[in-house]
Amino acid sequence: MAVVTTSRRPAKRELERAMKMVRLLCGDFLPREGRSLKRMMEEADVSGIVVVASEETWWEDRMGNRFRFHPNLAAIRVKELVGGGGDALVTAANLKQGDRVLDCTLGLGADSIVAAHVVGEKGEVIGLESQPLIAALVEDGMKHYASGSSRLRRAMGSVRVVCADYRVTLPRLEDQSFDVVMFDPMFRNTVKRSSGIQMLKELADPNPLDPDSVREAVRVARKRVVLKERLMSGEFERLGFRVVKEASNHAFGIIEP
């Protein structure tokens, strides 16, 4: 059961956002009433609670660990693109203005944000996230994250977050209905120093990408299907992707329909 609360003294806007979060998660709302989050979790007998505050929304467990949306490297990547630089994903996917992109594994949404910046207002980016808690927090975060960059805000605001499993969604889509389909499954070995990624790993779907879904993605994509993975993971070979771009700690493989 998902439990949602607010800060100790919520404004009307916080309450409205909290009620929307309750609807998204099919959860229950508990008024804060001055109580600590730990006490609320103990009384409700839950392992974690969603907190809607004035500037951010997060999920917190009984140990005080938090999971929240943050654009992370997307902010740096968008800034680099604005300055005329390149981006490994953009190159691998051959993203262009006006492209329609399906991100099958949204997570924290960094790649979707970068893609949204590139495809612009004439394009479209839809991000699928199978885990309702992650989908709800990322959707809320993309709409309310305070950034000084108008380009980053526009990119975040244009990503359409859909709580759905790509294994179910892909077979229902029409042939060549998207230009690019992207996969970024959760790496088996994540970067230990990144607390946000470690919390995401705890909440995310751990199942590996399956060949049937790849075949459906190839049918749906007009230009390219892109996989982001560790270079030595063996996933590129197992799933039939050709490696075209290497980054600092991962690589990109493609299939061209």
pLDDT at position 199 is 61
Angle between helical axes of 132-144 and 12-25 (0-180°, round to 10): 150
pLDDT at position 72 is 87
CA 80 to CA 82: how far, in whole Å?
A: 5
pLDDT at position 206 is 79
Kindly give the confidence (pLDDT) of every residue in the chain, 257 residues in length, as a single tens digit, with 9 standing for 90 and above.
789 999 999 999 999 999 999 999 999 999 999 899 999 999 999 999 999 998 889 999 999 999 999 998 999 999 999 999 999 999 999 999 999 999 999 999 999 999 999 999 999 999 999 999 999 999 999 999 988 899 999 999 999 999 999 999 999 999 999 999 999 997 545 444 455 556 666 777 778 999 999 999 999 999 999 999 998 899 999 999 999 988 778 999 999 98
The predicted model scores a pTM of 0.92
Which residues, 6+ apart, have CB-to-CB distance to 236 below 8 Å?
A: 227, 229, 242, 243, 251, 253
pLDDT at position 196 is 53
Q: Which long-range contacts (CB under 8 A, 24 or more apart) does 243-246 make?
A: 244/91, 244/92, 245/88, 245/91, 245/92, 246/88
Instruction: With beta carbons less than 8 A apart as the criterion, state whether 98 and 125 touch.
Output: no
Instruction: With beta carbons less than 8 A apart as the criterion, state whether 179 and 205 touch.
Output: no
pLDDT at position 214 is 98
CA 124 to CA 116: how far, in whole Å?
A: 7
